[in-house]
Structure 1
Amino acid sequence: MTEEFSRYDTSDYLKTDEDMALYFDACIEEDPGDGSLIRAALGDIARARGMSQLAKDTGISREGLYRALSADGNPEFTTILKVTRALGIKLHAGIT
């Protein structure tokens, strides 16, 4: 008997806006300071919502979004703002 494994993808579990908001907040909290978790969260949420629609909404190509939000990506802050606005995600500031 052989076991079958499938690749885990967080975007498969982000079903509601609340799921996405809570996930994004958790990634902001846990980010090590280099933006890697924030970038990954935006990529996961973008895939869950639909990268093609996000590309239309931001004016950035699908390929450009995949590249910017990848593990090796280094998106400009304007790209992050375009993506968060298009996804309906708000960045929050607070004092710790």
Structure 2
Amino acid sequence: MNAKINIAELPEFDMAEHLDSDQAIAEYLTIVLEENDPAELTAALGTIARARGMTEVARSSGLTREALYKALRPTSQPRFDTIMKVLSSMGLKLSVQPVSHV
């Protein structure tokens, strides 16, 4: 007999728990960037910052913790320089590749 699973009792998935290495973070961010959705990029940076520790990311980026949370909300539209500060503080950088036309 199959036991019924109560969905409310399942643990909530948190991507930040799975970003435990630089490689995992790079792969996650690459996938998000391929979606070409600025809101998803902002949310992903927030997830990565939580995985790395918001306080440490805020400190090393020169932002206050509150400003970092505000800038990385999924509904926010952070300035490009803020994104670059956050990426740099997490030891990440963006790179550009030509789009292949098939």
* Same fold at TM > 0.5: yes
**Deviation string, structure 1 residues 4-36 (Cα, Å, up to 9, x no partner):** 23322110111100000010011101123xx11
Poorly superposed stretches of 4+, deviation over 4 Å:
none
**Amino acid paired to 2:77:** N
**Secondary structure of 1:89 counterpart:** coil
- Tell me the distance in 1 between the aligned counterparts of 2:15 and 2:45: 11
* Equivalent residue, structure 2, for 1:86: 89
TM superposition shift of 1:74: 1.3
**Secondary structure of 2:13 counterpart:** coil
* Equivalent residue, structure 1, for 2:51: 48
TM superposition shift of 1:54: 0.7
- Tell me the distance in 2 between the aligned counterparts of 1:31 and 1:47: 22
- Tell me the distance in 2 between the aligned counterparts of 1:2 and 1:88: 41
Structure 2 residues without counterparts, runs of 5 or longer:
none
- Tell me the distance in 2 between the aligned counterparts of 1:48 and 1:26: 17
Larger Rg: 2
- Tell me the distance in 1 between the aligned counterparts of 2:19 and 2:90: 13
Percent identity, aligned pairs only? 38
TM superposition shift of 1:2: 8.5
**Secondary structure of 2:47 counterpart:** helix
1:71 aligns with 2:74: yes
Q: TM-score, normalised by structure 2?
A: 0.84
